[in-house]
Structure 1
Amino acid sequence: MKKLIFFLILLPFSLTAQVTDNFEDGNITGWTESYTGRWAASDVNPITGSYSLHHIYNSSTSYHDQISYDISSINVGEGTTVWKFQVKHGYNPTSGNNWGVYLFADNNASQMAADSINNAYVVGVNYTGGSDDTLRLWKIISGSATELIKTNIDWEDSVGTSIAAGFEITRTSEGSWELKVDTDGGFDNLISKGTAVNSEFTNSNYFGVYYKYTSSADQKLWFDDFELSQTNTPPTIKNVETVNDTILHVIFSEEIEQTSAETVSNYSITPSITIKSATLSSADTVTLSVSNMTTNDYTLIVDNVKDLKGLPMDNVSFNFSYSMPASFGDVVINEIMADPTPAVGLPEYEYLEIFNNFDYNVNLTDWSLCIGDKIKTFPSITLKPDSFLIICSTSAYDSLKQYGNTLALIGSTDLTNSGKTIILKDKSDNEISKVSYTTAWYHNTDKDEGGWSIERIDPDNTCGAINNWTASIDEKGGTPGEINSVDAPNIDTQAPVLESIKVMNDKELLLTFSEPLKTGIA
């Protein structure tokens, strides 16, 4: 009988490692106990065969005991890992009588307890001190448990104290989990009881069993037919990060072999992108230098890149997008409702509107909107070409969303009636649009009393300031989410004027002009 033996099976595209122990040799050599003499390969009521791992300590007080085995030779990030075992608990579970199987953990048996600081994944019943007897899978981060899978198995009702339940738990290299259980014992009738995705912790150092008991319920946990196997699979693509229009970072699921990683012919990008070079920039990341990308959706195909065990990828594809960075004026502040009272026809709320005047989608994620000294950060959101985004307060959102794409981002009184400077910046803090409005921008002393928005006349004119804004002429008082009522060509024909020069130091001068200047030319 093989006992705790690692062996390799060579297959065309996979490699299998395995650990087994059915305790039929009558010892627990290789296992580490939290306290010596509390576990044994016992012939007392074994689950199968002549022996099972059994808690044998007769305790006069309530306590907990653990036992672990070193599984650091298995890396859960390199393939699909499968745990199989059987558990029998000869006492109905309670908050004080429970158990957990540590599938993998940072630390050994000495730290495999619910009140210990450990990182792990644990399957068990009432492990966190509850008393509903439900079988669950938890992740443990720094000793704090979070439920990943809650099954419909009530251990007391579905399994009981006289038989064991068989387990098969699967984890893919990407962190997809599945929990299967045979409540009749063995592995012939395994039924899926839940799935989850989590890869927050990957250090597979130790496997183990935890048992918490009262003085009358010790010696009542059995464990048997342990099998831990892994089928190693080729690398996969975890992510593609676009640094700029010519540099990509390709992040793989595991460490990869350098020669295949740096072979340019192993990569292709459609549509119509040329791979110029490939460099292994870290153990699991390749930096690709490519021909200029424009705003578009792309597909990266990787073939024959190998992991450190020589397993090659086979035409694995990954879809990603690239958005060209916006320049000043590509997205413009297009309409401002600073004084909504008294309402003319729109809901009585402040709002401002931005417009994508660019030919491509603009990713606004982590952009900022500065209103006076207040800075608001955009969530993950994309603005399509020739489209509008209404920006308002949380209280205004439900009333304004009927007019188009709406985002609750600003406060209900951020847009002061008398005026304010508003700046839209990209995530690199570059100015994309800027206005400093006043009541003079209405050009109408009746409408500046409230209920009317001010609208940009020509979105292509980013320098017109007061001469490119005026009060809305729409009967509602504004045009949130649609073309401005005053929209018309209004070309800026006046060159900027140098207004002042300030000496900053012996090497720098500060020049102030009458209007914004174009980035890259000024």
Structure 2
Amino acid sequence: MGAKLAKGFFITTILVLVCNSLFAQWADNFDDGDFTNNLEWVGDTNNFIIESGVLRLNAPAQTGIAHLATSSDISLNASWRFLLTLDFNPSSSNYAMVYLMADVQDLNFVQNGYFVKVGGAPDEISLYKVVEGNETLLIDGVDGRVGLPTVEIEIIITRNSANKWEVKSKLAGEPDFTSEGNIVDSEVVSSAYFGVFCKYTSTRSTLFYFDDIIVLGSPFVDNEPPELLYYSTPTSSQILLAFSETLDTTSVIINTQFLLNNTETPTNIFALNSDTILISFNTKLEMDNSLEILAIPDVEGNLLDTMLQIVFIDPTPSNYRDIVINELFPDPNPQEDLPPFEFVELFNNTNRIIDLKGWEFTDGSKVATFSSVLVYPDSFLIICPVAAEVDFIPFGKTVGLDIWPALNNGGDALVITGNNGTIIDSLTYSSSWYNNAEKDNGGWTLEQLNPASKCLGSFNWGASINEKGGTPGMVNSLYPINADFSPPQITQALLTETLAEVWLTEPVTNGLYQGVISSPLYNITFDLAEPSAYLKGTIEDVIHLNTYNIEIYLQDCNGNTGIANSLLINIANPATEDIVINEILFDPYYGGSDFVEIYNNSDRYFNLKDYKFSNETSNSVITDTTLLLEPKHYLALSENIVFLKNEYLSPDSSLFKTELPTMPNNEGMIVLKSAKGIIIDSVVYNEDYHFSLIDDVEGVSLERISSAVSSISKDNWRSTAESFRYATPGYKNSQSREPVNKGVITVSPEIITPN
């Protein structure tokens, strides 16, 4: 082992330091044989000894680490000098570190400080900085400098008033010091400890030596009050405050004044650790709060007075649809009046502020992660590629994402997840959601109709109708202006054999709906896979009556619930002449149209969906939707029902617009068929059926005289009376002669006299 520094040099240095009152100083040459008093070194004391006035590692013969530290607040305009001997060739498994500045006593857990490393793989002497536990190399010394069988080296590190650092070293036998490099760095300004650290293998556990340590300079003098680093709101009545330095927590609890929203004082102040306090109040925090702080002290007695603006961020985890995808712009081209970039609009569907920190937005192939972004209740956030951020800022609050999941024009699956991985919103859109062939070619956004709707998917989306092409950052153009607070009602309910069909005033949410039919009493279930205003279900062993009553508990897309009830009409299968052709016009006035009137000759209900009129060569479907024909009811069908209303005063309730087969003016045939193709009634007509004294039959209909007599009979048809304007579409025929029941006629009084 190499010799110690000359005692004369060591004593002279100490005298110089003592005489210079501008500097603090300390030194230890271990000549007293004791490292636990005057100076006190702490740490792995069992692994060190003093031998011949030198501090020596004396650890068990096994791989390990060991350290010692002593109090030292010297940090500025300073120098550190020491003698180190490594009685081996250093390596990545065997090296020494000397902590010039450290914030904690245990050198395994230094968060802020500086250290010199001697050895390691490059066999060099290097200076490192530690900030928040992260090490940074500042001075990379000369490689191979200590690649020797035995290293005896004296090292000096200086930091001047301009925060310029320099590391110098002198090996045994060298006449002068060699500079390992210099750098300017001022990030860490305070210190609490100086220390030595050894990393070793089993064969090197006694071969580290430290001696003649001299430290001089100035301690950091804190004249600044503490700064607030951040705050949080762990509960609705608590505020956590974290500061930049150690506080005098006893004084904080006793003397510091806190005032919330100009009125509320804390019920409790608790120091979570040396720089963090938790304040509790009796009242709940508002969304935006003020917190006045008077006289919060650090350990040096510096006082902070400040006014903080505290935003209450509810720590409750967000749930599904708390934040919703509210508008999409997958295809910006051709451009309308929006920036030519994709965007997605998010909407806060809650009454609380939500922080998107740690949330993710993905299309399954790319994932974008949000930094801290506050979204206020009932407000919008535009997200877009970072390059487009400046273009969308004029439309509202905008965040540009470095990673952008591109929106496919034809459709894509988008997902928003919270910081705990919970799915907050998702949708799989397609270009069909536009429901507009012109707008789905590009330049128009897809808008959500109602962000609060319980009916999701294509039902709740459509093409924007805003003239700019979309509404980023504002209420969607499709949003319903008038709020709906009424539960859905039944507009029509039909029973066809065992199938019950129900039409509603508005769509209801998907799910199972239970209904009750009476009387007799039947239970029925409607299973709805997606939102719809149409329900269907089946019942077994039904007793067929004309009508029933049905009740269903329903929920619409706005969450309105209630019991809807209605008549349930039993739809019959017609027999021949249950429905009769009752009147025909085959030679209309100029500008008019043919019509056929049918009459329900029974006491049952019929659904004319998919019924047909036919002639000798063609068929015409009356309607492909439900069309109810009530018992004893007339219905006139024509291509021009306005003509019938104006010319013949027909009632709206008895008219239906449809295409009819060709009806020649001289003669022809018209046939009525059921949805199953069964012939219900047919008429062979001829213009000769008209009353012979009518000179011009144009605009004159043929009326059926009796529904009880076959329509094939020529004698069952006559021209409509002139007094009825020559046609009665939609109401009782002028020539109607329905049979009446025969009975006994009595006269009272039996004697009748003149006058």
TM-score (norm 1): 0.53
SS at match of 2:357: coil
Alpha-carbon offset, residue 471 of structure 1 = 0.5
1:245 aligned residue (236, 240, 243)? 236
Q: Does 1:445 align with 2:458?
A: no
Alpha-carbon offset, residue 517 of structure 1 = 11
1:479 aligned residue (451, 471, 474)? 471
Aligned residues of 1:240 and 1:320 also touching (Cα < 8 A) = no
SS at match of 1:445: coil
* C-alpha distance in 1 between matches for 2:528 and 2:25: 77
Give the fraction of aligned pairs with identical amino acids, expressed as a percent. 23
1:83 aligned residue (74, 77, 86)? 77
Aligned residues of 1:345 and 1:476 also touching (Cα < 8 A) = yes
* C-alpha distance in 1 between matches for 2:446 and 2:395: 17
Cα pair distance change 1:481/1:198, threshold 3 Å: farther
Alpha-carbon offset, residue 264 of structure 1 = 8.6
**Residues 427-506 of structure 1 mapped to structure 2, 5 A cutoff:** 427-461=419-453, 463=455, 465-489=457-481, 491=483, 496-498=509-511
Q: Does 1:104 align with 2:98?
A: no
Which amino acid is the alignment partner of residue 217 of structure 2? E
* C-alpha distance in 2 between matches for 1:368 and 1:233: 43
Aligned residues of 1:366 and 1:378 also touching (Cα < 8 A) = yes
Match of 1:30 in 2: 28
Alpha-carbon offset, residue 453 of structure 1 = 1.5
Alpha-carbon offset, residue 289 of structure 1 = 2.6
Summarize deviations over 1:343-398 as a string: whole Å, max 9, x none: 44545543222234666654333222243464321123334566543323356556
Aligned residues of 2:296 and 2:305 also touching (Cα < 8 A) = no
2:369 aligned residue (377, 392, 412)? 377
1:340 aligned residue (316, 319, 332)? 332
* C-alpha distance in 2 between matches for 1:475 and 1:30: 82
* C-alpha distance in 2 between matches for 1:257 and 1:435: 53
Which amino acid is the alignment partner of residue 83 of structure 1? N
**Residues 89-168 of structure 1 mapped to structure 2, 5 A cutoff:** 104=101, 111=118, 115-116=124-125, 119-120=128-129, 142=135, 144-145=137-138, 167-168=160-161
* C-alpha distance in 2 between matches for 1:3 and 1:362: 61
Could you say which structure has the greater relative contact order, defined with CA pairs below 8 angstroms and 6 or more residues apart?
A: 1
Cα pair distance change 1:304/1:473, threshold 3 Å: closer
Alpha-carbon offset, residue 280 of structure 1 = 3.0
Which amino acid is the alignment partner of residue 321 of structure 1? I
1:227 aligned residue (202, 217, 227)? 217
Cα pair distance change 1:17/1:461, threshold 3 Å: farther
* C-alpha distance in 1 between matches for 2:293 and 2:219: 30
* C-alpha distance in 1 between matches for 2:255 and 2:455: 46
SS at match of 1:324: coil
* C-alpha distance in 1 between matches for 2:432 and 2:480: 20
Match of 1:324 in 2: 313
TM-score (norm 2): 0.39
Aligned residues of 2:312 and 2:353 also touching (Cα < 8 A) = yes
SS at match of 1:278: strand
2:71 aligned residue (60, 70, 73)? 73
Which amino acid is the alignment partner of residue 144 of structure 1? L
**Residues 360-439 of structure 1 mapped to structure 2, 5 A cutoff:** 362-372=354-364, 374-383=366-375, 388-394=380-386, 396-397=388-389, 403-409=395-401, 414-439=406-431
1:277 aligned residue (264, 268, 272)? 268
- Structure number with greater Rg is 2
Structure 1 regions of 5+ residues with no counterpart? 8-15, 22-28, 33-69, 87-100, 122-137, 148-164, 170-177, 181-193, 208-223, 501-510
Which amino acid is the alignment partner of residue 77 of structure 2? W
Aligned residues of 2:454 and 2:509 also touching (Cα < 8 A) = no
Alpha-carbon offset, residue 473 of structure 1 = 1.9
Match of 2:24 in 1: 19
Aligned residues of 1:472 and 1:486 also touching (Cα < 8 A) = yes
Cα pair distance change 1:281/1:383, threshold 3 Å: closer
Alpha-carbon offset, residue 144 of structure 1 = 0.9
Which amino acid is the alignment partner of residue 101 of structure 2? F
* C-alpha distance in 1 between matches for 2:188 and 2:431: 54
Q: Does 1:295 align with 2:292?
A: no
* C-alpha distance in 1 between matches for 2:271 and 2:458: 53
Cα pair distance change 1:383/1:437, threshold 3 Å: same
Match of 1:155 in 2: none
Aligned residues of 1:391 and 1:406 also touching (Cα < 8 A) = yes
Aligned residues of 1:442 and 1:448 also touching (Cα < 8 A) = yes
* C-alpha distance in 1 between matches for 2:509 and 2:255: 49
Aligned residues: CA RMSD: 5.5
* C-alpha distance in 1 between matches for 2:164 and 2:470: 57
Aligned residues of 1:246 and 1:289 also touching (Cα < 8 A) = yes
* C-alpha distance in 2 between matches for 1:296 and 1:271: 13
* C-alpha distance in 2 between matches for 1:142 and 1:408: 32
